[in-house]
Amino acid sequence: MIIRLIAVGQKMPSWVEAGYQEYARRMPRECRLELIEINAAKRGKQADIARIMAKEAEAISQAIQSSDWVVALDVEGKSWSTPQLAQQMTRWQDMGRNIALLVGGPEGLTPELRQQANQKWSLSGLTLPHPLVRIVVAEALYRAWTVTVNHPYHRE
Angle between helices 130-148 and 82-95 (to 10 degrees): 80
Pairing of strands 32-38, 2-8: parallel
Chain center to CA of 116: 15
The verdict on whether residue 125 carries a ligand-binding annotation is yes
Please indicate if the annotation marks 128 as binding a ligand.
yes
Q: Is 35 annotated as a binding residue?
A: no
Which residue type sits at 154? H
Say which DSSP state 77 is in.
E
Confirm or deny that 127 is annotated as ligand binding: yes
Question: Is 124 known to sit in a ligand binding site?
Answer: yes
Cα separation, 6 vs 37, in Å, equals 6
Q: Is 132 marked within a binding site?
A: no
Q: Is 77 marked within a binding site?
A: no
Taking alpha carbons only, the member of 71, 81, 97, 82 closest to residue 151 is 82
Residue 148 labeled ligand binder: no
Rounded to whole angstroms, the Cα distance separating 109 from 115 reads: 10
**Relative orientation angle of helices 14-24 and 130-148, to the nearest 10 degrees:** 10
List, as residue ranges, the binding site: 73, 104, 123-128
List, as residue ranges, the binding site for S-adenosyl-L-methionine: 73, 104, 123-128
